[in-house]
């Protein structure tokens, strides 16, 4: 509060200066950029400080900018110092139009972010309870709000002839939960992955989606001079068609645009520009079919968030500028429009209290019934009902749209904003109270442990694979392994063909196609591996993840292609290339050149034994060597993922770096180290749904232990975690060198 007082003390002189300026209070016919900058600075500063205060007392930070706008508007500053308030926020249409333009851009960006946070897979996982909660939780308060709109006095409507539209707005404002507020509170309490937390989030997501559809349709109806059933049908059918096309054709198209922009353009932040263009075009498309632009922005966010690459990077970039600039401006402007002094009228105060009561009871009752019908117990349904009662940002946006369309009066707008503030402030403490009384079951505990592992694991966080291969057995085996990893989670794969030289400038088109033919062959290997993997691992009620395979044409040396691709968001480079005539303990010289162009995790494949003749369909029996280090844990993850993808047995072998031939004490310590490392890998295997065989060998050197076990167990692929050594000449250390020299089984080195 001290910071807020200091800020206000600093702003008052500026307000006085603006008040004394010529044309203050709207007398100037021309808009002033200086006043616009002052408005934005004041809204950002006050919104940020009050948001900090809100967060420190356990309330959503988004309430800060809204309360800041109320304090700077006619409610507080306008009552205490009207001249300063009118000078800082003049009522001239041109001046308010400039600030409103910034605010409207903020609405689109807020809806874009809300869409990016929409997790469709989460909705699929808890769809029964989520849809039940959302439908009943919307229907009950919507019916109450609609009925209230039908009986509200004509004096409170700007146009009594549009009572139907006003009733629809009131019903929507009372029924839709704010997914941003709900998500913030649930995440803050570490309940985002709990069963009831997932149902709350999924229900709020469905609420938001249905809400924006209702608003879009209502906007289409309000744009008509008179109500006609044909216009209603056009709005509904247009909205349904838009969403259906967006989630099918549009989803693939947006993913391709993002990928192409990221991979092809070299200017700064091209993906950011592409996403803004996508958002703008979809907003224009919804406007063209007669519904509101916010629906287009929201659906655009869903499509961008569904892109298989760069989602975290895009979210971080947009979240920064939206949170810092556009969010405080939009909510500040909404607060400026709310005049809480009207609540001094006992009738309006009573109506507002009734509105809050109807909204809270209606939402709570509907959500509780929906949770009970969806299979939740009483305590879970109680927690869910309290969590769904937050209105916050969604209702402010709804009310702002209604006010700008002339469907809501200033009084109704203020009542809705007041309801949004009060229900949002009440939600965090009541939800905390309810969630503390929820016990955690065994199944839920195991799922949370598994998801915590995946969040920190290596393979679950690989979003994109770069594959550099030729047509030799190592190249085809690498393509097979890459396809297996990609098929588990729908990871995109980009193929770079390792040809000796780029096509000559005067090469014919047929020659160029022949040069690129190895890549095409590897695409077939990858896709075949993907198909086989998904047949084994995809659950019957879940769709198979889509895997996109791209081929980079060999129009330049492969080293240069990899250096260019390395900046485009790849999490793993997998290499399979002919093993040249060389000292057998060394890696190929060309491999050093390729690896030095990629600063990230590296997987190197060497095809031997049965895979020398059958790299694509040879039997997989995996042996992974571990030593308790981070690099060996990564290798174990890769081995277990391959075992799951290929339904192949996995044996985990604990090895020391050197043989232990010293005291009995050293032997005991080695056994303890081995047991701890193998227990850890066994736990990881359980999370991958695999049973593994574990062996500890501390009586031999690591390389001897691996080669002996590979021969004794009949393993066909040895996986090992290594560290990069050397600069110009790449090395994986003495153990890897010994395996390269002597092993007669295929090798996969996973390097950090």
Residue 478, C-beta contacts closer than 8 angstroms, at least 6 positions apart: 467, 469, 574, 575, 576, 603, 605
Q: What is the pLDDT of residues 520-536, one digit of tens each?
A: 577 888 888 888 887 77
**Does residue 553 register a pLDDT over 60?**
yes
Q: 333 is written with which tokens?
A: 């402007």
pLDDT at 719: 93
pLDDT at 527: 83
- For residues 672 and 660, the answer to whether their CB atoms sit within 8 Å is no
pLDDT at 639: 93
Eight-state DSSP code of residue 306? T
**Does residue 153 register a pLDDT over 60?**
yes
**Does residue 500 register a pLDDT over 60?**
no
Per-residue confidence band for 513, with pLDDT thresholds at 50, 70 and 90: very low
**Does residue 508 register a pLDDT over 50?**
no
**Does residue 17 register a pLDDT over 90?**
no
CA dihedral sign, ordered 10, 13, 19, 22: negative
Query: Among 503-507, 588-592, 648-652, which is the least confidently predicted range?
Result: 503-507
Q: What is the pLDDT of residues 34-93, one digit of tens each?
A: 888 999 999 999 999 998 898 888 777 778 888 898 899 888 888 888 888 888 888 888
- Determine the Cα–Cα distance for residues 294 and 287; give it in Å rounded to an integer: 9
**Does residue 165 register a pLDDT over 70?**
yes
Q: What is the pLDDT of residues 458-487, one digit of tens each?
A: 888 888 889 988 888 999 999 999 999 988
**Does residue 452 register a pLDDT over 50?**
yes
Work out the average pLDDT over 145-172.
Answer: 83
Q: What is the pLDDT of residues 84-120, one digit of tens each?
A: 888 888 888 888 888 888 888 887 887 788 778 766 7
- Report helix, strand and coil shares of the chain as percent, to nearest 5: 65, 5, 25
- For residues 48 and 64, the answer to whether their CB atoms sit within 8 Å is yes
Work out the average pLDDT over 215-241.
Answer: 69
Work out the average pLDDT over 608-620.
Answer: 90
Element of type H or E holding 383: helix 378-387
pLDDT at 567: 79
Three-state SS at 177: coil
Work out the average pLDDT over 680-700.
Answer: 84
- For residues 217 and 151, the answer to whether their CB atoms sit within 8 Å is no
Work out the average pLDDT over 4-12.
Answer: 52
DSSP assignment of 580-607: -SS-TTSPPHHHHHHHTT--S-EEEEE-
C-alpha of 671 from chain center: 43
**Does residue 650 register a pLDDT over 50?**
yes
Per-residue confidence band for 506, with pLDDT thresholds at 50, 70 and 90: very low
Which residue, 286, 265, 333, is CA-closest to 65?
333
Buried b (16+ CB within 10 A) or exposed e, 250-282: bbeebbebbbebbbeeeeeebbeebbbebbbeb
Work out the average pLDDT over 674-683.
Answer: 84
**Does residue 582 register a pLDDT over 90?**
no
Domains defined along the chain, listed by start: 92-435 (1.20.1530.20), 455-751 (3.40.50.12370)
> How many Cβ atoms sit within 10 Å of the Cβ of residue 411?
19
Three-state SS at 40: helix
pLDDT at 27: 45
- Determine the Cα–Cα distance for residues 605 and 498; give it in Å rounded to an integer: 14
Three-state SS at 499: coil
- Determine the Cα–Cα distance for residues 233 and 290; give it in Å rounded to an integer: 11
pLDDT at 507: 42
Residue 381, C-beta contacts closer than 8 angstroms, at least 6 positions apart: 367, 368, 371, 372
Q: Whole-prediction pTM value?
A: 0.66
Per the prediction, the chain carries an average pLDDT of 79
**Does residue 516 register a pLDDT over 50?**
no
């Amino acid at each position: 509060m001290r910071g807020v007082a200091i800020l206000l003390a600093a702003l008052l002189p500026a307000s006085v200066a603006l008040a004394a300026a010529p044309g203050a209070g709207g007398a100037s016919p021309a808009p002033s950029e200086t006043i616009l900058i002052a408005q934005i600075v004041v809204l950002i500063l006050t919104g940020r400080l009050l948001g900090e205060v809100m967060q420190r007392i356990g309330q959503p930070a988004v309430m800060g900018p809204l309360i800041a706008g109320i304090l700077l508007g006619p409610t507080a500053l306008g009552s205490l110092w009207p001249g300063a308030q009118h000078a800082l926020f003049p009522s001239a249409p041109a001046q308010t139009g400039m600030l409103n333009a910034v605010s409207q851009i903020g609405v689109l960006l807020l809806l874009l972010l809300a869409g990016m946070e929409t997790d469709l897979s989460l909705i699929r996982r808890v769809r029964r309870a989520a849809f039940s909660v959302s439908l009943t939780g919307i229907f009950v308060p919507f019916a109450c709000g609609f009925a209230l709109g039908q009986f509200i006095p004509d004096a409170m409507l700007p146009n009594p002839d549009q009572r139907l539209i006003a009733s629809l707005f009131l019903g929507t404002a009372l029924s839709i939960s704010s997914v941003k507020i709900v998500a913030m509170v649930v995440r803050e309490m570490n309940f985002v992955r709990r069963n009831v937390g997932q149902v709350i989030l999924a229900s709020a997501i469905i609420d938001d989606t249905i809400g924006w559809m209702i608003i879009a349709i209502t906007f289409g109806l309000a744009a008509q001079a008179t109500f006609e059933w044909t216009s209603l049908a056009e709005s509904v059918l247009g909205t349904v068609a838009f969403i259906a096309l967006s989630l099918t054709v549009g989803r693939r198209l947006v993913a391709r645009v993002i990928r192409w922009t990221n991979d092809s353009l070299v200017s700064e932040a091209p993906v950011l520009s592409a996403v803004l263009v996508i958002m703008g075009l979809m907003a224009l498309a919804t406007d063209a079919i007669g519904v509101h632009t916010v629906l287009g922005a929201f659906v655009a966010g869903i499509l961008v968030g569904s892109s298989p690459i760069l989602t975290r990077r895009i979210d971080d970039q947009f979240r920064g500028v939206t949170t810092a600039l556009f969010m405080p401006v939009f909510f500040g402007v909404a607060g400026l429009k709310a005049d809480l002094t009207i609540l001094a009228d006992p009738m309006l105060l009573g109506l507002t209290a009734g509105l809050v009561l109807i909204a809270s009871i209606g939402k709570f009752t509907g959500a509780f019934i929906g949770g009970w019908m969806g299979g939740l117990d009483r305590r879970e349904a109680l927690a869910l009902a309290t969590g769904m009662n937050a209105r916050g940002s969604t209702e402010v946006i709804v009310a702002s749209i209604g006010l700008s369309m002339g469907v809501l009066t200033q009084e109704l707008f203020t009542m809705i904003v007041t309801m949004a503030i009060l229900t949002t402030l009440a939600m965090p403490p009541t939800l905390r109270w309810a969630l503390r009384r929820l016990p955690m079951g065994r199944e839920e505990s195991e799922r949370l442990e598994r998801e915590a592992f995946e969040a920190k694991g290596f393979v679950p966080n690989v979003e994109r694979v770069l594959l550099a291969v030729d047509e030799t057995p190592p190249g085809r085996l690498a393509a097979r392994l890459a396809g297996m990893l990609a098929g588990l989670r729908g990871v995109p794969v980009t193929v770079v063909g390792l040809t000796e030289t780029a096509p000559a400038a005067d090469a014919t088109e047929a020659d160029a196609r022949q040069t690129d033919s190895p890549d095409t062959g590897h695409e077939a290997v990858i896709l075949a591996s993907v198909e086989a993997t998904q047949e084994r691992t995809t659950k019957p009620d879940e769709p198979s993840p889509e895997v996109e395979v791209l081929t980079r044409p060999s129009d330049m040396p492969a080293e240069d292609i990899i250096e260019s691709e390395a900046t485009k968001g790849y999490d793993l480079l997998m290499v399979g290339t002919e093993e040249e005539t060389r000292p057998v303990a060394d890696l190929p010289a060309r491999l050093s050149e390729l690896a030095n162009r990629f600063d990230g995790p590296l997987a190197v494949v060497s095809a031997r034994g049965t895979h020398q003749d059958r790299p694509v369909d040879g039997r997989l029996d995996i042996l992974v060597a571990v030593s308790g280090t981070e690099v060996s844990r990564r290798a174990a993850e890769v081995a277990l993922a391959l075992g799951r993808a290929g339904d192949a047995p996995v044996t985990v072998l604990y090895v020391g770096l050197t043989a232990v031939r010293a005291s009995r004490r050293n032997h005991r310590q080695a056994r303890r180290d081995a047991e701890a490392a193998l227990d850890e890998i066994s736990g990881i295997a359980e999370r991958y749904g695999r049973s593994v065989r574990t062996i500890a060998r501390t009586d031999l050197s690591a390389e001897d232990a691996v080669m002996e076990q590979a021969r004794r167990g009949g393993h066909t692929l040895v996986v090992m975690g290594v560290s990069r050594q050397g600069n110009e000449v790449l090395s994986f250390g003495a153990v890897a060198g010994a395996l390269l020299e002597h092993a007669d089984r295929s090798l996969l080195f996973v390097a950090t």
